[in-house]
Amino acid sequence: MALNSTIFKAELQIADIDRHYYHDHALTIARHPSETDARMMVRVLAFARHAHEALLFGKGLSSDEEPDLWQKDLTGAIALWIDVGLPDDKRTRRACGRADDVFIYSYGGRGADLWWEQTRDKLDRTGNLTVVNLPFSATQTLAKLAQRSMQLQCTIQDGQIWIADADRRVEVDLTILKMPAPRSLR
């Protein structure tokens, strides 16, 4: 018998000073039975960092054809593809061919470091890929914010992210492992 996803609700207030984006979002997040709280909260963080009215959660772990988050333009073309975790290089190259911009949010401490060492050369030629690594300790603290019903505030300024609920505040320092080529060179 297949297990169903667990539904989480989040009221997310975003103050992204870097992008001048100030909005509240009511999120419904389906957590796959094999997904951890840390992974789910990294998806929420990625949503906050790229928040847009057209940004949606994809099937993620349930499908090889959809990312964790994505944004399509008015024609249906994929403008933004976001994967969380340590995706395989073939999936990432395929995503880079389908989307204008691709982001990977890796996490997991030493495991993420090993993944990047093994994957970096295979993804070197992808001109529209950004790879961001999150510190292990931050993702573990983010996981403690996970509740079936959440009220979260997210502030983004100068590339730093703070996510808080009524009791805790988590500062997340992002490490950029790979940046895309300038658009004029693509």
Per-residue pLDDT 10s for the chain (186 aa) are 457 889 999 999 999 999 999 999 999 999 988 899 999 999 999 999 999 999 999 876 666 679 999 999 999 999 999 999 999 999 999 999 999 999 999 999 999 999 999 999 999 989 999 999 999 999 999 999 999 999 999 999 998 999 999 999 999 999 999 999 776 554
Cα→Cα distances 39→35, 42, 140, 158, Å:
6, 5, 9, 24
Predicted local confidence at residue 4, as pLDDT: 83
pTM higher than 0.75, yes or no? yes
Q: Token digits for 45?
A: 């963080």
Which stretch of DSSP H or E encloses residue 113? Answer: helix 110-119
CA distance 14 to 121: 35
Strand runs labelled E in the chain:
6-16, 21-31, 55-57, 69-72, 78-84, 99-106, 129-133, 149-157, 160-164, 169-173, 175-178
Predicted local confidence at residue 27, as pLDDT: 97
Predicted local confidence at residue 159, as pLDDT: 87
Predicted local confidence at residue 116, as pLDDT: 96
**Among the CATH numbers 3.40.50.280, 3.40.50.1820, 3.10.640.10, 3.30.365.10, which is that of 6-185?**
3.10.640.10
Q: Token digits for 49?
A: 């960092």
Predicted local confidence at residue 65, as pLDDT: 78
